Amino acid sequence: MAQPHIIEVRDLHKRFGNIHAVRGISFDVPTGQCMGLLGHNGAGKTTTVEMLEGITRPDSGSIRYKGKTLNKDLRNEAGIMFQHTALQDFITVNEALQLFAGLYPDPTPLDDLITQFQLQDLLGQETRKLSGGQRQRLLLAIALINNPDIIFLDEPTTGLDPHARQYFWSLIREIRAQGKTVILTTHYMEEAYALCDEIIIMNEGSIMTQGTPDALLREHFNDVVLTLPLAVFSEEQKIQFKVYENRDVAEILTQDIDQEIHRLMEAGLELGDLRIRERTLEDLFLTLTEQNQ
């Protein structure tokens, strides 16, 4: 019978000299779900993931994998896609796949991975000549070459263009559909919302909040955002409407859309470019991290 939580973390600490990188965090990773770890650089998320992967040893606390103390079973059953992975420059995609497949006694059939990640036309190409999106597809295929139960993805779409990022998201959804557990670190709030069943936001080594994206947004916000070009407001009107300046865009928070629009009309403001949006994970991230500066 499958464990309800594939990973259980309790009171985890890690220091590097005087830096307390991870400060007593506890959480569970449900089996078969995508868990997102979000945070600024230095928030502790990469150190946390490295401890989960067994790469870095915690100073104290416990990590359990499938109900047992973390051991070599995780390394045999995990796939890892690092943020920066070095591949030999003068080998082909096919040779890279063959190389990594040879490290495992029962690898995933390479034909299946080649088809899933659309590598057919790249097999004879040297890895050093791959585009960013092609390289990430190859690295994801390599992370799955041992048919893992859990996959760690560290900033997998950093530097990809929007089309390549969307395609990569579809691949992650396919992996999820196979019942695999995914732990994702990302700087992209839109990515976390699109892919994660649950997220953890970290700051200065601690967990600030945890839950499903929609539940966290309902918990922290009961308003919407009206946006207009900043240029339509006078300096006095910016104060009157409590405008938040976001580059050349004015943002106004309100719990009553009709009343706020009526106030804007009474002030004689041009509303042709008015937009209304719901709160996002980016709003939540900025709100929580700014409160703890």
Domain boundaries along the sequence of the chain: 5-218, 221-291
* pLDDT reported for residue 9: 97
Q: Which residue(s) pair with 10 in the sheet?
A: 62
Q: What is the DSSP letter of 271?
A: -
Distance (Å, whole) CA 284 – CA 286: 6
Q: What six digits make up the tokens of 254?
A: 């309100």
Count other C-beta atoms under 10 Å from residue 107's C-beta.
17
Low-confidence ranges of the chain (pLDDT < 50): none
- The rounded Cα 202 to chain-centroid distance in angstroms is 12
DSSP 3-state assignment of 38? strand
User: Which of these CATH numbers, 3.40.50.300, 3.30.1450.10, 1.10.3720.10, 3.40.50.12780, describes 5-218?
Assistant: 3.40.50.300
* pLDDT reported for residue 4: 87
Amino acid at 232: V
Single out the residue of 191, 88, 103, 185 nearest to residue 147, CA to CA: 103
* pLDDT reported for residue 291: 64
Q: Which residue(s) pair with 275 in the sheet?
A: 227
Q: Are strands 181-185 and 34-38 parallel, antiparallel or unpaired?
A: parallel
pTM: 0.88
Q: What six digits make up the tokens of 280?
A: 């996002």
DSSP 3-state assignment of 203? strand
Q: What CATH number has the domain spanning 221-291? A: 3.30.70.980
Distance (Å, whole) CA 152 – CA 207: 19
* pLDDT reported for residue 74: 87
Q: Which residue(s) pair with 226 in the sheet?
A: 252, 276
